[in-house]
Amino acid sequence: MKTTFVLAALIISFSCYSQSDDNQNTPSMKVTFGAGVSLMSKFKRGNVDEFYQRIAPDPTNLPDDGANGFKFLSIGFQSSAQGKPILGLELQLTLTHPSRAIWGENTGYGYATDMYFSAKFVNVALKLGLPLSSRGYFVVEPGIDMGFMNGKVGIYNSLASYTQEFYEERAIGIGGHAACGLDLPLGNVFVIALRAGYRFVKIDESHADASSDTGYSTFYVNGVDGETLKVDWSGMYMTAGIILLLGKK
């Protein structure tokens, strides 16, 4: 974490002293706003399958990946000088499907289960762009990610009028990502951004539990002890988006 802040400070210093083509004494820096969607996204799921097989009426039933398309928004800044390397810093927000990134429903003999998990990731990413002959940039983008997970585990028995529902609370994990791709300028204001990368974030399941000393508990995969339930959101992804550049030419 300390290394990231040092690098961010170096970027800010570089941006403040970088020179534009029009006036060598004028700083060259642009504010960036971005948005896009995933072309492909995968995640490992962790031990969700083993946990669900234990609680589902049919142990051969597995949760579905559901709608796994990620969407993202970003804000940041970057140095700007045509034909020269660019340095930047972005704050990004990435969202999975609101409730069906991982989900499962199973019913049998009056017994039913309903489970889903989704997540959002907030990350700080460094951006290094190397100019290409076609006026585009080859971009390398490492970052530190913080994941926030929401979800539900529901267990129902209609014969015994039994209902238990647990909702995720304080389910947070820290990881990172590394990506590379292309920035393709459309004039001086808009840029098409293409990225391919890998995200590594694991989040411990956490739900309210009045019987716990902390007020929160995590499910055990096998029931009462051993390995706790962890959702692994790590995996490869590809995104396409557009960036708006605001600032002096």
Instruction: Give residue 23's pLDDT.
Output: 47
Instruction: Give residue 68's pLDDT.
Output: 63
Instruction: Give residue 80's pLDDT.
Output: 80
Q: Which residues contact 2 (CB under 8 A, 6 or more apart)?
A: none
Biggest CA pair distance of the chain: 79
Q: How far is CA 81 from the centre of its chain?
A: 30
Q: Taking the alpha carbons of 38, 121, 90, 178 in that order, is the dihedral positive or negative?
A: negative
Tokens of 172: 């947070």
Kindly report the backbone phi and psi dihedral angles of residue 10, in degrees, each rounded to the nearest multiple of 5, phi listed first. Answer: -65, -40
SS3 of the chain: helix, strand, coil, percent, to 5: 10, 55, 35
Q: Which of 176, 52, 56 is nearest to 117 (CA)?
A: 52
Instruction: Give residue 42's pLDDT.
Output: 86
Produce one character per residue of 22-57: b if its CB has 16 or more CB atoms within 10 Å, e if not.
eeeeeebbbebebebebeebbbebbbbeebbbebbe
Residue type, 191: V
Q: For each of the domains in the chain, give its residue range(s) and CATH number, in order of start.
A: 29-246 (2.40.160.20)
Spatial separation of the C-alpha atoms in residues 218 and 212, rounded to whole Å: 10
Kindly list the distances between the CA atom of residue 206 and the CA atoms of 8, 142, 242, in Å, as whole numbers in the listed order.
33, 28, 36
Spatial separation of the C-alpha atoms in residues 205 and 117, rounded to whole Å: 9
Instruction: Give residue 30's pLDDT.
Output: 93
Instruction: Give residue 157's pLDDT.
Output: 87
Instruction: Give residue 108's pLDDT.
Output: 83
| 24-28 contacts at long range (C-beta below 8 A, 24 or more positions apart) | 26/248, 28/79, 28/80, 28/81, 28/248
pTM > 0.75: yes
Instruction: Give residue 97's pLDDT.
Output: 82
Instruction: Give residue 83's pLDDT.
Output: 79
Instruction: Give residue 244's pLDDT.
Output: 96
pLDDT tens per residue across all 249 residues of the chain: 444 444 444 444 444 444 444 444 444 789 999 999 988 888 899 999 999 999 998 888 888 876 667 899 999 999 987 778 999 999 999 998 877 889 989 888 888 999 999 999 999 999 999 999 878 999 999 999 999 999 999 999 877 778 999 999 999 999 999 999 999 999 889 999 999 999 999 999 999 998 899 999 999 998 888 899 999 999 999 999 999 999 876
Instruction: Give residue 66's pLDDT.
Output: 65
